[in-house]
Amino acid sequence: MLAAALALQLTTVLVFTTTDCPIANRYAPEINRLASTFAGKVRFMLVYPVPTDTDDRIREHVKKFGYTMAWRRDVDQQLAAEIGIRVTPEVAIQDRNRNVLYRGRIDDRHIAFGTDRPQPTVRDLERSLEAVLAGKPVPVKETPAIGCILSDLVK
């Protein structure tokens, strides 16, 4: 029970996104839903890993998509590289020591670039958070994310 209580206060979800990735932007409602569902238990933070996303563009993006969580820039992509992030959107769950407990897709809505389902069949991020908060290991530690490739976004 103590492990679950500690997880409640110390778990962070990093959501790697950009202001102009259409796939990432389509996930805004789901990200907001999850942040609301896990409010008070998990900290969500948006991470913008491209230099063209200036503070002003990010503030506009946050407002446009109704995000209420904190955000930060990662213009040199140091954090993205450290975690192994390759696309946006891609998420990472970290514990209080910044160990990555899960990295990958939010869900399986996108099968391949340009091919998606109307609804996801597996909600990987949600399922992983539920496991962490229950003091259990995540069912799958890494999943492939479909989105805008970071190397294509850095110009």
pLDDT at residue 5 in the model: 45
Would the CA dihedral through 1, 70, 149, 109 be positive or negative?
A: positive
> pLDDT higher for 96 or 19?
19
Average pLDDT, the chain: 90
Spell out the domain ranges in the chain: 2-153
CATH number for 2-153: choose from 3.40.50.300, 3.40.30.10, 3.40.50.720, 3.50.50.60: 3.40.30.10
Q: What's residue 112's pLDDT?
A: 72
Tokens read off for 89: 């959107």
Before 89, cis peptide (omega within 30)?
yes
Task: Look at residue 86 and give its three-state secondary structure.
Answer: coil
Region for residue 146 given its phi and psi (left: phi exceeds 0; alpha: psi -120 to 50; beta: otherwise): beta
Strands 70-73, 115-116: parallel, antiparallel or unpaired by DSSP? unpaired
